[in-house]
Chain A
């Protein structure tokens, strides 16, 4: 069935470090791919998305490219800030349903 596998955390980085969170997926058809972010005590918020192969989603310095050949959608940011500390979820949308990864907790220390 359709599913998402993402890098397990927690991840701890120093401010201004480079971030990569890996995400791979299994899906029939042509899913859309998303990264959501969850701050403590809040719901999930859309961070970025891509709807077809080779699309690059970007927002707030985060980027991810839809790679059909490797079935991946890795999240990257060149220089993280303390305010980026949160849990990040990779997700795919196929048909009527979203499928979420297990989440990766990121802590950025000053």
Chain B
């Protein structure tokens, strides 16, 4: 099984450019999440979705947008890249919320904004 797949693995952006980080899962999970991981800061939730057509903000949503048109895909959009968005981004999915349901993670996208 592929699980959670993220593309690209690495990307360098110039300030002001835009890009979309792709995330797809093949486990038919309802819940999907985007996190950013900064050194010494753990993971911060950017956006999450509890099903197709439903998204909600997490702890650090500013500068990002998401959509969830299908169960499988949950792309993250950066419209005007800023150096503060240099980070490692992880997409995750889970079958449902609560009840000890584990989250499955992709391998991450390392983004540098220069």
Contacts and interface: CB of A to CB of B under 8 A. Distances in A.
B30 to A, nearest CB: 10
A89 B105 contact: no
- Interface size band for B: 20 to 34
B99 A32 contact: yes
B98 A102 contact: no
B17 interface: no
A60 B48 CA distance: 31
Contacts of B35: 100
A101 B42 CA distance: 6
A98 interface: yes
B26 interface: no
A98 B108 contact: no
B97 A43 contact: no
A49 interface: yes
B41 A102 contact: yes
A17 interface: no
Contacts of A98: 33, 45, 92, 103
Interface residues on A, range: 20 to 34
A97 B31 CA distance: 10
Contact of B43 (A51, A89, A94, A96): A89
Contacts of B53: none
Contact of A97 (B42, B45, B99, B104): B45
10 contacts: A41-B107, A51-B99, A51-B100, A93-B101, A95-B98, A96-B48, A97-B45, A97-B97, A98-B45, A102-B42
Given A32-B101, A50-B100, A93-B100, 9 more contacts: A42-B108, A43-B105, A43-B108, A44-B103, A46-B104, A89-B42, A95-B98, A96-B56, A102-B41
